[in-house]
């Protein structure tokens, strides 16, 4: 089971600013069917995501398992 962190609209701005400083990786947030943005908590303490650690550790854990929209191949 994956753990998730909530990313508010204001935090999305900060996340995009951090992402803009890196060409090798982008930390993504996904929107749930309820309109909540989340990112994987598995990135915390992962060396690959070192430059995002302060940001990631400031996020609130998502309670439960998020539901994501189904994408159509049409």
Q: What is the pLDDT of residues 26-46, one digit of tens each?
A: 999 999 999 999 999 999 999
Cα–Cα distances in Å, from 20 out to 12, 16, 58, 60, 63?
12, 6, 19, 23, 29
In this predicted structure, what is the pLDDT of residue 1?
Answer: 47
Task: Give this prediction's pTM.
Answer: 0.88
Residue 22 three-state SS:
coil
Map out the domains of the chain as residue ranges: 4-18+25-61
pLDDT, residue 71, reads 77
Which residues have C-beta within 8 Å of that of residue 13, sequence separation ≥ 6? none
């Amino acid at each position: 089971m994956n753990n998730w962190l909530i990313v508010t609209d204001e935090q999305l701005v900060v996340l995009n600013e951090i992402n803009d400083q890196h060409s090798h990786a982008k930390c993504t947030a996904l929107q749930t069917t309820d309109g909540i943005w989340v990112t994987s908590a598995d990135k915390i303490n992962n060396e690959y995501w070192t430059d995002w650690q302060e940001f990631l550790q400031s996020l609130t854990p998502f309670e439960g398992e998020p539901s994501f929209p189904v994408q159509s191949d049409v």
